[in-house]
A = this chain, B = another copy of it.
Amino acid sequence: MTTNQVENAVGRMIPAEINDKPVVPFPGVGKHRPTGRKYGPPIATCADYPADGDKRLPDLKAALIAAGLRDGMTISTHHHFRNGDLVANQVFEIAAELGVKDLVWFPSASFPCHAPIIERLKDGTVHHIEGSMNGPLGRFASEGGMRGAGVLRSHGGRYQAVQDGEVQIDIAIIAAPTADPFGNANGLTGPSACGLLGFALADSQYAHKVIVVTDNLVPFPCLPWQIQGNYVDYVVEMDVIGIPEKIVSGTTRVTKSPDRLYIADLTAQFCDAAGLIRDGFSFQAGAGGTALAIGNYFGDIMRRKGVTARFARGGSNQYLVGLLEEGLVEYILDGQTFDLEGVRSMRENPRHTDTSPFTSYNYHGKGNFASMVDIAILGATEVDVNFNGNVVTHSDGYLLHGIGGWQNALFGKTVILPIPLFRDRIPVIRDEVTTIVGPGELIDVIVTERGIAINPRRTDLLDAVKGSDLPIKTIHELKEEAERICGKPQAVEFGDRVIAAIKWVDGTVIDVVRQVK
């Protein structure tokens, strides 16, 4: 980590190399020109696969050995089971048992349930993690425990990296709620039903070896084949692959906090006043308690105005499904289901469709639908006076969250962050965010319990709400208000060592996270 550093387009110092690979510093939104061709995995032949389509092996260890597991490989998993995943830890336990070293773990995200991987990082089985590190793994990395640097990507950025060959997956392990012996799989049924398997799509398409692990084997054909068996090498049956109540674990209840409810209401009022809620519009809201409340307020406004949304982007949940079934939303384009109502709706309703980071978010495709969404409602740990946003570190410098689809959703037409002005008496609006995950030019509106700040670039929005009784303020006013209440926050001190890179949607590096002192 003693390499030269260069300043990128948002003013952050970026090392020339991370994990001994050259880095392209973020040159600004839409400025990086990809060259070359998509990655081509090795050509397979049916001659090497059983004619009867039965690719089963007795257990995961047998499959990992058959897949040629060895030192230094890149091993991928998906996070549709969120904090209820029982498969990833087993993969690295087996690797440790086999004495394999220096693996790169490439999850679509990791969760607190993956804390046992810390032991695998310590014993040398795993070299580093490329992927979101929610909770303990992030803390461990922040404290300098990981030999390599973490590489964090958005969901779309992960697809882009695999498609473009920046990350070559040696072995993908795809935990599947339902699968057949050929490897066709979906997330719609079975005890570990999670709705869809879109986060594993790139892995299936591009990994050299693909292992499907299921606790609900059905005879061929497993339909719909969200994952296609034609990409799969081996199938393993296991008693149980996930903990159902932790799989659909998103915040599934509307917030009861009066402040949060007020922020949600204000967000919906803003959208209405700005003319964003009109017939055929589209929106994306997450699964947090505030976001759920906003969805409900949107429903009220649509009923009142007699308009419907052409589509909503999920994370689906009971509230969004309610809007679909009421006819207020024509389609749900769903990236992950957050509750069992979401799973049921996706299984039953052809207007509730599974999506993948390819269709929704891949920036190195011929467009994606994130930029078609009229209103994108997102969260943040911090925002700064230049409207830059942070979702990965806290103000104490610890890396505790993943990027998710956040960067990708910033391409929505109007991006709104409903956030509290402070959390635990720490201001959320800062002079500079600890980590820049999204550039301010893509963030349009900040809604807090003390007022709404509109990005000065969005003169159209400023004009639209002029004369309304909405509490419009400048971002500086909001920041000063927070500091009046909480005091001016102290700067965190970091060491020099880069413990994680934050990739932008195009594979360039928008910021790095340094070790906490």
Residue-by-residue, is A68-94 near B (CB-CB < 8 Å gives 1, otherwise 0)? 000000000000000000000000000
Residues of chain B contacted by A366 (CB below 8 angstroms) = 44, 46, 48-49, 55, 183, 210, 229-233
Question: With A and B bound together, what is the CA distance between A445 and B364 in angstroms?
Answer: 50
Q: Assuming A30-B47, A164-B43, is B351 touching A230 (CB within 8 A)?
A: no
Residues of chain B contacted by A372 (CB below 8 angstroms) = 51-53, 182, 220
From B223, B224, B353, contact of A223 by CB (8 A): B353
**CB of A333 within 8 Å of the partner chain:** yes
Residues of chain B contacted by A125 (CB below 8 angstroms) = none
Q: Assuming A40-B40, A358-B230, A362-B230, is B45 touching A369 (CB within 8 A)?
A: no
Q: Assuming A36-B43, A41-B37, A50-B367, is B350 touching A310 (CB within 8 A)?
A: no
Residue-by-residue, is A437-465 near B (CB-CB < 8 Å gives 1, otherwise 0)? 00000000000000000000000000000
Does the CB pair B52–A371 fall under 8 Å? yes
**CB of A363 within 8 Å of the partner chain:** yes
Residue-by-residue, is A273-313 near B (CB-CB < 8 Å gives 1, otherwise 0)? 00000001000000000000000000000000000001100
Closest chain-B Cβ to A313's Cβ sits at a distance in Å of: 10
- In the complex, the count of this chain's copies comes to 2
Does the CB pair A42–B36 fall under 8 Å? yes
Question: With A and B bound together, what is the CA distance between A49 and B364 in angstroms?
Answer: 10
Q: Assuming A351-B223, A372-B53, is B38 touching A359 (CB within 8 A)?
A: no
Residues of chain B contacted by A50 (CB below 8 angstroms) = 367
**CB of A34 within 8 Å of the partner chain:** yes
Which one of A219, A280, A351, A369 has the highest number of Cβ atoms from chain B below 10 Å of its Cβ?
A369
Q: Assuming A182-B372, A230-B358, A369-B220, is B53 touching A43 (CB within 8 A)?
A: no
**CB of A39 within 8 Å of the partner chain:** yes
Does the CB pair B228–A359 fall under 8 Å? yes
Closest Cβ neighbor of A370 among chain B residues: B46
Residues facing B in A21-37 (CB within 8 A) are 30-37
Q: Assuming A230-B359, A351-B223, is B53 touching A367 (CB within 8 A)?
A: yes
Q: Assuming A280-B219, A364-B45, A367-B230, is B40 touching A224 (CB within 8 A)?
A: no
Does the CB pair B230–A182 fall under 8 Å? no
Question: With A and B bound together, what is the CA distance between A48 and B310 in angstroms?
Answer: 25
Question: With A and B bound together, what is the CA distance between A38 and B30 in angstroms?
Answer: 28
Closest chain-B Cβ to A448's Cβ sits at a distance in Å of: 28
Does the CB pair A229–B38 fall under 8 Å? no
**CB of A225 within 8 Å of the partner chain:** yes
**CB of A495 within 8 Å of the partner chain:** no
Question: With A and B bound together, what is the CA distance between A37 and B168 in angstroms?
Answer: 13
Question: With A and B bound together, what is the CA distance between A35 and B40 in angstroms?
Answer: 12
Closest chain-B Cβ to A167's Cβ sits at a distance in Å of: 14
The chain A residues found within 8 Å of chain B, CB to CB, are 30-53, 55, 163-165, 182-183, 210, 219-221, 223-225, 228-233, 280, 310-311, 331, 333, 350-351, 353, 358-359, 362-369, 371-372, 411, 413, 506
Q: Which 3 A-B pairs have the closest CB atoms?
A: A37-B40, A49-B367, A38-B40
The 5 listed contacts between A and B (C-beta, < 8 Å) are: A33-B45, A36-B43, A40-B165, A55-B366, A232-B366
